[in-house]
Amino acid sequence: MSSISVPPPKCLQKPLTVPYRHMFGPGPSNVPSRILEAGVNPVIGHMHPEIFEIMNDIKSGIQYMFQTQNKMTLAVSGTGHSAMECAIFNAVEPGDSVLVAVNGIWGERAAEMAERIGARVNTIVAPPGGCFTIEEMEKALSKHRPVLLFVAHGESSTGVLHPLDGIGQLCHKYNCLFLVDSVASIGGAPVYMDQQGALKNPARCFHGFCS
């Protein structure tokens, strides 16, 4: 066997030093010390019973955060993009009509994802910093009759917090799912999934995700 021709890099032979920065954007953000301390706990296998208990605790926390009693609540290990793709790819079939409320890059990104799987994507577009009225939402829903409506609750590219009240009732009326991107808003602004979804069965209409 020949000798190693590429020596170990010197940069990996010294301790890693990460500077502390104050981060005030929607993400990444500073991590509380109690969460950092949790990271030093022992690693256990993903099929150990303690992991299932931890995941159930996380599920309860998510239900509290979204104010929902929906048992179909789960954590996706990934970024906000992962959650967006997971939600869209599991709710939309090729050829389905999808309506996306675009008032920033996240609405644009959702439209692109739906188009990639063959959905018939229609958009309503607001200028940067704008949002949509209930009347505008209903007009678009009545026209396009989508199986899914996407709204970015916290549009971080423009700094807009989009109102959610009343949209769930419209989705009921036009029989479509309501997908809400709350990556940049959850924890800073309240989301009442069951109430704003206006459902006896919340899983039928209101799907929210965060990172």
What pLDDT is stored for residue 210 in this prediction? Answer: 52
Judge whether 18 lies within some domain: no
Judge whether 163 lies within some domain: yes
Mean pLDDT confidence for 143-157: 95
In terms of DSSP H, where are the helices of 23-100? 33-38, 49-66, 80-91
The mean predicted confidence, pLDDT, of the chain is 89
pLDDT in tens, 27-74: 788 999 999 999 899 999 999 999 999 999 999 999 999 999 988 888
In Å, what is the CA distance from 96 to each residue of 59, 112, 144, 152, 188? 30, 14, 11, 20, 33
Judge whether 116 lies within some domain: yes
Mean pLDDT confidence for 70-92: 89
Q: Collapsing DSSP states into helix, strand and coil, what is residue 173?
A: helix
Judge whether 188 lies within some domain: yes
What pLDDT is stored for residue 205 in this prediction? Answer: 47
CA-based radius of gyration for the chain: 21
What pLDDT is stored for residue 199 in this prediction? Answer: 57
Calpha distance 113→96 (Å, rounded): 13
Residue 83: give its domain's CATH number: 3.40.640.10
What pLDDT is stored for residue 209 in this prediction? Answer: 54
Is residue 200 predicted with pLDDT exceeding 60?
A: no
As for how many domains the chain has, the answer is 1
pLDDT in tens, 168-192: 999 999 999 999 999 889 888 999 9
Judge whether 31 lies within some domain: no
Judge whether 22 lies within some domain: no
Judge whether 120 lies within some domain: yes
Mean pLDDT confidence for 108-137: 96
The answer to which of 57-61, 77-81, 196-200, 204-208 has the lowest mean pLDDT is 204-208
Is residue 211 predicted with pLDDT exceeding 70?
A: no
Q: Are 197 and 178 in contact (CB under 8 A)?
A: yes
Is residue 204 predicted with pLDDT exceeding 60?
A: no
Is residue 1 predicted with pLDDT exceeding 80?
A: no
Is residue 126 predicted with pLDDT exceeding 60?
A: yes
For residue 122, which of 138, 146, 105, 106 has the smallest C-alpha distance?
A: 146
Judge whether 23 lies within some domain: no
Q: What residue numbers bound the domain in which 198 lies?
A: 49-209
Q: In which band, very low, low, confident or very high, does the pLDDT at 202 lie, cut at 50, 70 and 90?
A: very low
What pLDDT is stored for residue 2 in this prediction? Answer: 66
Mean pLDDT confidence for 84-108: 95
The answer to which of 77-81, 127-131, 181-185 has the lowest mean pLDDT is 77-81
